[in-house]
Amino acid sequence: MVSVRSALALAVAFLASTSAARPHGLLEELLGDVTAGAPHSHPQDGPSWDALMKIANVQPSLEGMLPAKTGPCVEKLQRRAWSDLSKSEKKEYIDAELCLMKLPQKTNLGGKTRYDDLVKSHQLQAFLVHGDGLFLPFHRLQMHAHERALREECGYTGAQPYWDEEGEAGHFSTSEIFDEVYGFGGDGTGTGGCIETGPFKDYTLSTGLGYLNYDHCIIRKINDRESRLTAKKYVDACLALPTFAEAWPCIGRNPHNGGHRAVGGEMANPISSPGDPLFYLHHTFLDRVWWRWQALDKENRIKDIAGYTSNPEPPTGYVDAKLNTVLNMYGVTPNATVADVMDIGGDLLCHEYVDPQRKGGKKESWGKKEEKEEKEDEKEEKEDEKDKKDEETDDEDEE
Ligand SMILES: [Cu+2]
């Protein structure tokens, strides 16, 4: 897992490299010292626990919050793979996302648009919902909040789609998901890494990178190698684990980190990654993995929660995540407990996952050829490491 501190260091490094970037917003006071010392700062110079809590404790305006949703789940929304949507369904989803990007913010958390409200709900509590037991429950709720906003504020009639990353592992760069018309646009270009094609190329994010807030384009850096971690063999390895305590770190480590790093840029930043709309297709893919795991022993696994409620450790010691732990949506939708999101067909959530159809002979997963390549890469990596060590020893000799 990428820690909050290394994420901050990443954001700082990015800022240091783009002199035109002018951070603004509510966190600079807390982070001023860190950014000032950017070139020499070490990851351990990240924000203190108190600073992180100050960030997380910002109070949103509740005026624009979507009303509470209760009642029995009768008609379940069908969440399907992006590659199985028709052109008009894809267009409808993209148009609804563009609508969220045009609507004004409602939470008063410092973002400009309704889309930014959802980046904020992730950014402000990133250290509470990553690398711990709340990771999967929180992101399930975030997907739901996004789906509701699309449907109830932008007239979208479909369900939140997922990216069938398992079927595209190792070759993300050729995915139709990056289509310029019926997709999310292509890779980042130039020194800034901005996406310059597709429906979202003109969107200016006001939240991120990381904990910082400054106007910037959506950046991407696609990496096929990283995308191998979303392959069937890694997903299956997580599905085979007997307890949530073992399953969540597995999902977090491989398919989760792999997909984030494989898209790169905005998505590679664990604090502000919802800045790339692909975030929602990636995390819905992961949510399906969790649900598939739960469905293998539903009766027990819709009650199985484990792990802590933060990463790093609070000064008073770690706290265990429980079914009654509250997940914070910062005024976008009402807060919910972990118990509320354990069943995707319960009172709060009401959807189901449709398996990917993988028409047109798309690969199920990577085959023998890629596995051979992977082994060769690993060998090369080891050799590189050895070379590096040798060089270091040489340096020492010179001194
Ligand atoms: Cu996240």
- Region 93-122 average pLDDT: 97
User: Is the separation of the CB atoms in 90 and 270 below 8 Å?
Assistant: no
Residue whose pair of structure tokens reads 């890494």 in the numeric block: 193
The amino acid sitting at 33 is D
Q: For residue 318, how far is its CA from the centre of ligand 1 (angstroms)? A: 20
Q: Is residue 158 part of a domain?
A: yes
Q: Is residue 260 part of a domain?
A: yes
Q: For residue 258, how far is its CA from the centre of ligand 1 (angstroms)? A: 13
Q: Is residue 398 part of a domain?
A: no
Q: For residue 18, how far is its CA from the centre of ligand 1 (angstroms)? A: 25
Q: For residue 139, how far is its CA from the centre of ligand 1 (angstroms)? A: 6
Tokens of 266: 């905005």
Sort strands 351-353 and 188-189 into parallel, antiparallel or unpaired.
Answer: unpaired
Higher pLDDT, 399 or 279: 279
The amino acid sitting at 226 is E
At 131-146, the pLDDT tens digits run 999 999 999 999 999 9
Q: Is residue 393 part of a domain?
A: no
Q: What is the pLDDT of residue 191?
A: 85
The secondary structure of the chain in percent helix, strand, coil, rounded to multiples of 5, reads: 50, 5, 45
Q: What is the pLDDT of residue 24?
A: 40
Is pLDDT at 359 greater than 90 in this prediction?
no
- Region 162-182 average pLDDT: 97
User: Is the separation of the CB atoms in 263 and 142 below 8 Å?
Assistant: no
Q: For residue 310, how far is its CA from the centre of ligand 1 (angstroms)? A: 13
Mean pLDDT of the chain: 86
Q: What is the pLDDT of residue 30?
A: 43
Is pLDDT at 293 greater than 60 in this prediction?
yes
Is pLDDT at 77 greater than 60 in this prediction?
yes
Q: Is residue 341 part of a domain?
A: yes
Domain count, the chain: 1
Q: What is the pLDDT of residue 376?
A: 66
Beta-carbon contacts of residue 185 (< 8 Å; ≥ 6 apart):
178, 195, 196, 197, 198, 199, 200, 201
Q: Is residue 88 part of a domain?
A: yes
- Indicate which CATH number applies to the domain containing 355: 1.10.1280.10
Q: Which of 291, 272, 317, 338 is nearest to 133 (CA)?
A: 338
Q: For residue 135, how far is its CA from the centre of ligand 1 (angstroms)? A: 7
At 237-270, the pLDDT tens digits run 999 999 999 999 999 999 999 999 999 999 999 9
Is pLDDT at 381 greater than 90 in this prediction?
no
216: DSSP letter: B
Q: For residue 389, how far is its CA from the centre of ligand 1 (angstroms)? A: 35
Q: Is residue 396 part of a domain?
A: no
Q: For residue 392, how far is its CA from the centre of ligand 1 (angstroms)? A: 36
Q: For residue 395, how far is its CA from the centre of ligand 1 (angstroms)? A: 40
At 201-229, the pLDDT tens digits run 999 999 999 999 999 999 999 999 999 99
Q: For residue 360, how far is its CA from the centre of ligand 1 (angstroms)? A: 32
Q: Is residue 392 part of a domain?
A: no
Range of the domain at 218: 4-383
Is pLDDT at 369 greater than 80 in this prediction?
no
Q: For residue 101, how far is its CA from the centre of ligand 1 (angstroms)? A: 19
- Region 356-378 average pLDDT: 64
**What is the Cα 144 distance to its own chain's centre?**
14
Dihedral sign computed on CA atoms, order 51, 26, 148, 67: positive
At 12-61, the pLDDT tens digits run 333 333 333 334 444 444 443 333 323 333 444 568 999 999 999 999 99
Count of residues making up the chain: 399
